[in-house]
Structure 1
Amino acid sequence: MDAAVSNPSSIKRIALVTGGNKGVGLETCRQLATKGLKVVLTARNEARGLEAVEAIRRSSGAAAEVFFHQLDVTDPSSAARLADFVRGQFGRLDILINNAGISGVDRDPILVAKVKDQVEGMDVNQRVEWMRENSKETYEEAKQCMRTNYYGAKIVTEALLPLLQLSSSGRIVNVSSGFGLLRFFRNEELKQELNDVGSLTEERLDELLDMFLTDFEAGKVDARGWPAAFTAYKVAKAALNAYSRILAAKQTALRVNCVHPGYIKTDMTIHSGLLTPEEGGRRVVEVALLPEGGVTGAFFEDGEEASFV
């Protein structure tokens, strides 16, 4: 068997991270490289992606093996080009980390610049409430949030799945959020359906997301019992969690898990978080490097397996 496919323990594992040019994604790449993995850092902006690769090499030393490839997670042709690159360069993929995401809201740039002064002394709940009060949820942002946070992860996963299946220990880590927990859904039927992964299908998940966007555009979010505040982000992450569980049941040879990295000081939270990107990256890496044959279809929070509800 070809060495690139057999993946003996003497060969470095290959990990790929989407949205790897900043924040939690960048730290995840850096920490994986420091642990001796070959890392493919992807980003939509080529210049920023290349800068990120050089930053990791400078901080981690010449031994760090970090590669860059451009990726727009919302574009199937871009994901296909990435898959061709990985196939030609490595012959397989061992770890896929779907990290790329957006907030799904508009914010005032002037306010963003003053965030440190605004949230100083606030606890976590006060900070989240401050963000809610200073965020605007629009239909266009909601659509883009679904395209990036859910469909983007699905597009990349489907493109790279054949390469993950060539690994002896293939795994997928979907960077989720505590906001994706089903407790935020006020409609009990929706909550139950999204939690019933034995019956839920990808096709039905698509129907539910179409329903959400229709309700959002019609101003029926409250009436239908969808989550309140950061609505699109919560729905997209809940959908990503459900998809992860469906995929884990189908792809039993792979480990497919979700992780909440925490409330991190990144652009997405306009740096209002309480944890550093290093801390968030560490939580993602821990799930990516779980022992072989471990849990699949699980949600991790604070370093522990937790409920999806």
Structure 2
Amino acid sequence: MEKPSHVATADGKQASHRIAVVTGGNKGVGLEVCRQLAAQGVTVILTARDEKRGKDAVESICRESNLSNVVFHQLDVRDDSSVASLARHIESRYGELDILVNNAAVVGVAADEEGLKALNLDAETWTSGRAATVLKDVFQNTYEVARDCLDTNYYGCKRVTEALLPLLKLSKSGAKIVNASSLASELKRMPNEELRKDLSNIDIWDEARIEAVLNTFMDDLKNGRLEEAGWPAMLPAYSVSKMVINLYTRILARRYPEMRVNCVRPGFVRTDINWNLGTLTPEQGARGPVMLALLPQDGPTGCYFDQTEMVNVW
């Protein structure tokens, strides 16, 4: 098996042979991460659930940025067979993987979009979490939507990471894993004091314990006990999914010290996931994930970044 040694970039230089996978790459921050990595000479596998949207995204990067080192592969992070297909493709085509950006996510509520727009909330109110009370009338936390949120945001990330770990271990440049997190993951937003304490103690966590907590969350949602049990009031499924993404990041960093594994909040970016209410552009939001994807091998690992700044949210 021969791995491509170079790809021609916009300026005609010989690109690095680093290979990256970006999940949820067809729009928003994911699309811009693909563009910025490709501009740095990385061969980028842009993935998306919808084949047409994914291929259109690759064509837009090629057309608008004159970059030919972005390719498409279909991926539904919720589907084991889809994930396995991607892993087989990378193994047969490239033989290894250097960068994984787990960006795919959904917001985890059913929203009355017209009602949401009518509230005309400012960015500070939205990001502070104070909007939870007024949003009760426009957000609906259904069991099915919450289950899909956890399956995409956490289990999807875990599914893809576990499938691609054998290829990441073969990276000659040093593997990087970047997990998309959120301001909603900050532990100060967790009303349940006991769980908040537990979430800050990485030594007691593994994937089995995370799954047990998520099962408890889903049971409480099903039984109408979210508020009583002290779960986050603002976007509960999304918030919990990102809290456990932070944990999973630290678990991976501890387990694979030779890799650089970090999570990042891209910022309040104007994308579909927040009904385009954000204040940052996707280009701005991509800077943190791209920085972490291109870290030197002596860079930080097991850390949380707010855009490009390391902060402590545990």
Which one of the candidate residues 17, 23, 44 is aligned to 1:18? 23
SS of the equivalent of 1:226 reads coil
CA deviations 1:9-56 (Å, max 9, x no partner) are 984211110000000000110111111110000000000000000000
Report the equivalent of 2:232: 227
Report the equivalent of 2:216: 211
CA deviations 1:209-268 (Å, max 9, x no partner) are 001100111111112111112001000000111011011100111111000000111001
The separation in 2 between residues aligned to 1:123 and 1:173, in whole angstroms, is: 26
Query: Are positions 1:68 and 2:72 aligned together?
Result: yes
Report the equivalent of 2:160: 156
Q: Is the 8 A contact 1:74 1:148 kept in 2?
A: yes
Q: 1:290 to 1:242 in 2, by over 3 A?
A: same
Compute the RMSD of aligned alpha carbons: 2.2
The separation in 2 between residues aligned to 1:141 and 1:220, in whole angstroms, is: 17
The separation in 2 between residues aligned to 1:71 and 1:295, in whole angstroms, is: 29
- Structure 1 residue 270, shift from structure 2 partner: 0.3
Letter in 1 for 2:105: G
**1:1-309 to 2 correspondences below 5 Å:** 4=3, 11-61=16-66, 63-111=67-115, 115=117, 119=120, 122-126=122-126, 129=131, 133-168=137-172, 169-309=174-314
- Structure 1 residue 136, shift from structure 2 partner: 1.8
Letter in 2 for 1:81: S
Q: 1:132 to 1:174 in 2, by over 3 A?
A: farther
SS of the equivalent of 1:12 reads coil
The separation in 2 between residues aligned to 1:82 and 1:297, in whole angstroms, is: 26
Percentage identity across aligned positions?
46
Q: Is the 8 A contact 1:5 1:91 kept in 2?
A: no
The separation in 2 between residues aligned to 1:241 and 1:50, in whole angstroms, is: 31
- Structure 1 residue 134, shift from structure 2 partner: 2.6
The separation in 2 between residues aligned to 1:38 and 1:45, in whole angstroms, is: 21
The separation in 2 between residues aligned to 1:305 and 1:286, in whole angstroms, is: 12
The separation in 1 between residues aligned to 2:4 and 2:257, in whole angstroms, is: 19
The separation in 2 between residues aligned to 1:35 and 1:107, in whole angstroms, is: 38
Q: How many residues align?
A: 302
Q: 1:270 to 1:93 in 2, by over 3 A?
A: same
Q: 1:131 to 1:6 in 2, by over 3 A?
A: farther
Q: 1:203 to 1:123 in 2, by over 3 A?
A: closer
Q: Is the 8 A contact 1:74 1:152 kept in 2?
A: yes
Moved more, 96-105 or 281-290: 281-290
SS of the equivalent of 1:258 reads strand
The separation in 2 between residues aligned to 1:13 and 1:234, in whole angstroms, is: 33
Q: 1:118 to 1:199 in 2, by over 3 A?
A: closer
SS of the equivalent of 1:33 reads helix
Q: Structure 1, unaligned stretches of length 5 or more?
A: none
SS of the equivalent of 1:104 reads coil
Q: Is the 8 A contact 1:175 1:261 kept in 2?
A: yes
Q: Is the 8 A contact 1:41 1:53 kept in 2?
A: yes
The separation in 2 between residues aligned to 1:306 and 1:276, in whole angstroms, is: 22
- Structure 1 residue 308, shift from structure 2 partner: 2.4
**TM-score, scaled to structure 2:** 0.90
Q: 1:303 to 1:229 in 2, by over 3 A?
A: same
Q: Is the 8 A contact 1:5 1:92 kept in 2?
A: no
